[in-house]
Amino acid sequence: MLGEGILKGMAETAKNFFGSYFSAERLTTVEYPEERIASYEAARVFPFLIFDSKNTADPADWEAGMRCVACQICEKECPPKCIYIDKSKDKKPDAVGKAQFYPSRFDIDISVCMSCQICVEVCPFEAIKMDTVYELSTDDRFGGLLLDRKQLAKSNEYYHRIHPTEAAEVDDRLSEGRAKTDAKMTAGAIAAAIRGAEVPAAAKATPKPVAEGAVADVVADAAAVTKTAERPTGAGN
């Protein structure tokens, strides 16, 4: 029948239109901003930096526990080049007490960022992840959209709230890596202790004490040999 496809399409459109007034399944809009649809766990908007909390009451806890070591891989791999990192000259202990370099500057220009997540994929330290916050409008075109490391820093607990499944997997990987590192360090310490406890065979062999009589006999024999060697040879001898 000519036009059958058009009629079916219009019928489907009419069903969706009238159904949106009374069917909960078709009520796809909300009264924003009073109402908000919860973000999906897999949603991604712009990156943020993770820090491991040691003392949540300390305002500087974000800096002490930051996972980023300023390796600058994300800066190099970023397609729109919107990440700017300056590496520190010194080292500071991280959340587990290991001395690490840290970013003295870490800025992301979210007006340029295209939310590709490449920075997350290439980070070897699980230090940068994608946020779900999208209400970032501002009247400051440049300063308001250039986020520094303090603005980007968010706790691992926050990461667990927005991406619980992914965060749990990351924690498992980090725990496994730390366990392997601790086991390797422990094995090295044990091996070093064993090597230190081993004494060379030459050092173990101590000379036996010589009795005083034996020393006197050796001296007398040596004197007799010397005297014989010095006696002149002749027919009368």
Inform me whether the pLDDT recorded for 27 exceeds 90: no
The contacts of residue 204 (CB under 8 Å, 6+ apart) are: none
Amino acid at 165: T
Give the residue with greater pLDDT, 8 vs 58.
8
**pLDDT 10s digits, 174-203:** 888 888 888 888 888 888 888 887 655 555
Task: Flag the least confident range among 111-120, 163-172, 213-222.
Answer: 213-222
β 47-51/153-155 pair status: parallel
In sequence order, the β-bridge partners of residue 154 are 50
- 237: confidence class by pLDDT, cuts 50, 70, 90: very low
Neighbours of 45 (CB within 10 A): 16
Residue 43: exposure state from Cβ atoms within 10 A (0-12, 13-18, ≥19): middle
Task: Write b or e for each residue in 86-119: b if 16 or more Cβ atoms lie within 10 A of its Cβ, otherwise e.
Answer: eeeeeeeebbeeeebbbbeebbbebeebeeeeeb
Residue 77's nearest CA partner among 122, 107, 115 is 122
Residue with tokens 């006999």: 217
Q: What is the token pair recorded at 208?
A: 């036996």
pLDDT of residue 222: 57
**Dihedral pair phi/psi, residue 81, rounded to 5°:** 55, 55
The contacts of residue 128 (CB under 8 Å, 6+ apart) are: 47, 48, 49, 50, 68, 74, 119, 120
β 92-93/99-100 pair status: antiparallel
> Average pLDDT, whole number, for the chain?
83
Give the whole-angstrom CA distance, residue 32 versus residue 71.
41
Inform me whether the pLDDT recorded for 110 exceeds 90: yes
Give the whole-angstrom CA distance, residue 117 versus residue 101.
24
Average confidence (pLDDT) over 73-89:
96
Give the whole-angstrom CA distance, residue 11 versus residue 16.
9
Share of the chain above pLDDT 90, in %: 43
pLDDT of residue 196: 81
Average confidence (pLDDT) over 55-79:
87
Neighbours of 146 (CB within 10 A): 17
**pLDDT 10s digits, 132-180:** 998 888 888 888 999 999 999 999 999 999 999 999 999 999 888 888 8
- 86: confidence class by pLDDT, cuts 50, 70, 90: very high
